[in-house]
């Protein structure tokens, strides 16, 4: 008598050994009475997680080790389907102007369908200044747990971007976020919350694993490439496009990535009427002062500390400096109407037929 566990193991082995579909039952030898019953081949869903993809209960030490080596990780199910639905509803209200009018974008007519409104936007900066629901994502427990694992016990948030990226909208060329939001200890971390399933087709994030490690901010140049919006492209780094990894994720997953990691996204090429929505928040250690933006009264850069922040974990050693509100929400141009409003006046796409005025 074969014990049940051994029988199950043998059955599994038989399943694995026959890559073709064998007759359901056959005799090995005509005079041999043992009948071997072969089960139809099973295509089982792999239980092996993709490297860098973690569940909320994953071992923090393993997550940290992957993050330190690669500069990113994916937290699967970081937000529940109900939370994602609420964030999508809020996205629509923000785009319609129902959470406050956006610069140069009057409130939508109530009769205008949501799809028509949403398709006007590539991205809205600082949505957390408009919406308590958006700001709430800074404090979500799985996010904070991951941030304290990869940054340290004291964490502050300072920036958010709400990508709508409807079909046909461009991506962002290779860049490092510390080029825009400087930390003093290389702890800048993006949390990229997928509100739709993000795929290569609809313009998911691509990363160059390990590219954060040299700790160098590479030179940036205008790219002139219609696949990308008006932000410049990092160049002259020792990595090639074929080393890039697409970070495809389900809605509710969160991609955490280091501020020195080279990353980009390509245009949304999915069918019309679809979106690749994501909410990206930025954080760093509270210990890092932040010389971001214009210093008031010509204060020395090294002394300046941007204080439009939200403490999400631990303590702020500079709390005595107080807190303030500096940024206001804005709409990021897609480049489809030119780049003048992005401080890129004179930046023309390679197929621009006529120079802009
Ligand atoms: O979501 C995207 O398409 C690009 C996001 C990005 O580059 C960023 O968050 O820095």
pLDDT digit string, tens, across residues 85-119: 999 999 999 999 999 999 989 999 999 999 999 99
| Confidence category of residue 244, pLDDT binned at 50, 70, 90 | very high
Residue 357 pLDDT grade (very low, low, confident, very high; cuts 50, 70, 90): very low
Residue bearing the CA closest to ligand 1, atom 10: 177
Q: What is the torsional sign of CA 198, 87, 92, 257? A: negative
Q: How far is the CA of 160 from the centre of ligand 1 (A)?
A: 11
- Which residues on adjacent β-strands are paired with residue 141? none
Which ranges of the chain would DSSP assign to H, the alpha helix? 4-17, 60-70, 81-95, 114-118, 132-136, 141-150
- Residue 22 is predicted with a pLDDT of 34
Lowest-confidence region among 246-260, 261-275, 322-336:
322-336
The helix or strand, by DSSP H or E, that contains position 121, with its residue range, turns out to be none
Please tell me the distance between residue 162's alpha carbon and the centre of ligand 1 in angstroms. 10
Is the pLDDT score of 42 beyond 50? Answer: no
Q: Which atom of ligand 1 is nearest to the CA of 264?
A: 7
Task: Name which residue sits closest to atom 9 of ligand 1, judged by CA.
Answer: 280
Q: Both tokens of residue 140?
A: 């979500």
Return the domain boundaries, the chain: 8-37, 53-342
Q: Mutation test of ligand 1: which of 265, 281, 283 has the most ligand atoms closer than 8 Å to its C-beta?
A: 265
User: Confidence band (pLDDT; 50, 70, 90) for 351?
Assistant: low
H helices of 198-344, in order, are none
Q: pLDDT, tens digit, for every residue of 206-220?
A: 999 999 999 999 999
Question: What are the pLDDT digits (tens) for 163-220?
Answer: 999 999 999 999 999 999 999 999 999 999 999 999 999 999 999 999 999 999 999 9
* pLDDT given at position 275: 97
For residues 68-81, give the mean pLDDT.
98
CB–CB of 169/334 below 8 Å?
yes
Residue that has been written with the tokens 């949304």 in this structure: 268
Has residue 12 got a pLDDT over 50? no
């709508």: which residue's tokens?
Answer: 164
Q: Which long-range contacts (CB under 8 A, 24 or more apart) does 95-102 make?
A: 95/120, 95/121, 95/124, 95/164, 99/130, 99/131, 100/130, 100/329, 102/329, 102/330, 102/331
Q: Tell me the torsion sign for CA atoms 305, 185, 242, 272.
A: negative
In whole angstroms, what is the distance from residue 243 CA to residue 297 CA? 45
Structure tokens at 66: 């992957």
For domain 53-342, which architecture applies?
Sandwich (2.60)
**H helices then E strands: how many in the chain?**
6, 16
Weakest-pLDDT range from 9-23, 30-44, 297-311: 9-23
Ligand 1 atom nearest the C-alpha of 203 is: 3
Beta bridge partners of 221: 233
Distance CA 1, CA 13 (A): 18
Q: Which region among 182-186, 195-199, 292-296, 341-345 has the lowest average model confidence (pLDDT)?
A: 341-345
Token pair, residue 60, equals: 């923090």
Confidence at residue 294, expressed as pLDDT on a 0 to 100 scale: 87
DSSP character for 118?
Answer: H
Beta-carbon count within 10 A of 217 CB: 15
Residue 347: its pLDDT value, please?
A: 76
Q: Mean pLDDT over all residues of the chain?
A: 87
What is the spatial distance between Cα 317 and Cα 65, in angstroms, rounded to a whole number? 27
Ligand 1, residues at Cβ distance < 6 Å: 161, 163, 171-172, 177, 190, 192, 203, 205, 263, 265, 278, 280
Compute, in angstroms, the gap from residue 265 CA to the centroid of ligand 1: 7
Query: Please, are residues 279 and 271 in contact by the beta-carbon 8 Å criterion?
Result: no
- CA 215, 244, 263: angle at the middle one, nearest 5? 50
- Amino acid 348: pLDDT: 77
For the ranges 6-10, 259-263, 280-284, 312-316, the lowest mean pLDDT is seen at 6-10
The 3-state DSSP class for residue 206 equals: strand
On whether the pTM is more than 0.75, the answer is yes
pLDDT band at 11 (very low <50, low <70, confident <90, very high): very low
Distance in angstroms (rounded) separating the CA atoms of residues 169 and 227: 8
- 175 vs 38 pLDDT, higher one: 175
Cβ burial 110-125 (10 Å sphere, 16+ → b, else e): eeeeeeebbbebbbbb
Q: What's the pLDDT tens digit per position in 116-153? A: 999 999 999 999 999 999 999 999 999 999 999 999 99
Cα–Cα distance, 325 to 337 (Å, whole number): 30
How far apart are alpha carbons 201 and 290 in whole angstroms? Answer: 36
Q: Tell me how far apart the alpha carbons of residues 147 and 156 are, in angstroms, rounded to a whole number.
A: 10
Share of the chain above pLDDT 70, in %: 82
Mean pLDDT of 26-32: 48
Helix 60-70 to helix 141-150 angle (10° resolution) is 60
Give percent above pLDDT 90 in the chain: 76
Which pLDDT score, from 0 to 100, does residue 144 have?
98
Quote the CA–CA distance of 192 and 190 in Å, as a whole number: 6
Residue 272: which pLDDT band, with cuts at 50, 70 and 90?
very high
Q: How far apart are CA 215 and CA 119, in angstroms?
A: 37
Residue 40 confidence (pLDDT): 43
pLDDT given for residue 45 in this prediction: 45
């Amino acid at each position: 008598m074969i014990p049940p566990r051994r029988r199950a193991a043998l059955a599994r082995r038989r399943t694995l050994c026959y890559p073709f579909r064998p007759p359901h039952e056959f005799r090995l030898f005509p005079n041999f009475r043992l009948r071997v019953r072969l089960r139809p081949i099973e295509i089982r869903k792999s239980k092996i997680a993709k490297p860098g993809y973690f569940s909320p209960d994953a071992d923090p030490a393993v997550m940290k080790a992957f993050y330190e080596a690669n500069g990113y990780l994916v937290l699967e199910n970081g937000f529940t389907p109900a939370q994602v639905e609420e964030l999508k509803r809020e996205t629509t209200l923000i785009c319609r102007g129902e959470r406050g009018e956006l610069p140069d974008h009057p409130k939508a007519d109530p009769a205008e369908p949501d799809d028509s409104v949403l398709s006007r936007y590539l991205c809205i900066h600082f949505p957390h200044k408009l919406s308590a629901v958006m700001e709430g994502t800074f404090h979500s427990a799985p996010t904070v747990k991951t941030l304290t694992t990869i940054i340290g016990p004291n964490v502050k948030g300072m920036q958010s971007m709400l990508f709508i990226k409807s079909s046909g909208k461009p991506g962002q060329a290779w860049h490092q976020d510390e080029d825009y939001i400087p930390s003093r200890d290389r702890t800048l971390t993006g949390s990229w919350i997928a509100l739709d399933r993000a795929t290569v087709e609809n313009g998911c994030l691509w990363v160059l694993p390990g590219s954060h490690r040299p700790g160098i901010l590479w030179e940036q140049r205008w790219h002139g490439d219609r696949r990308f919006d008006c932000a410049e492209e990092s160049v002259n780094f020792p990595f090639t496009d074929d080393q890039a990894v697409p970070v495809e994720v389900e809605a509710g997953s969160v991609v955490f990535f280091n501020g020195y990691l080279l990353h980009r996204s390509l245009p949304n090429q999915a069918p019309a009427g679809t979106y690749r929505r994501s909410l990206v928040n930025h954080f760093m250690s509270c210990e890092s002062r932040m010389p971001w933006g214009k210093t008031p009264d010509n204060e020395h850069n090294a002394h300046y500390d941007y204080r439009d922040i939200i403490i999400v974990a631990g303590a702020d050693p500079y709390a005595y400096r107080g807190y303030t509100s500096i940024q206001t929400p804005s709409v990021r141009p897609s480049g489809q109407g030119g780049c003048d409003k992005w401080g890129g006046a004179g930046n023309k796409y390679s197929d621009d037929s006529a120079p802009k005025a």
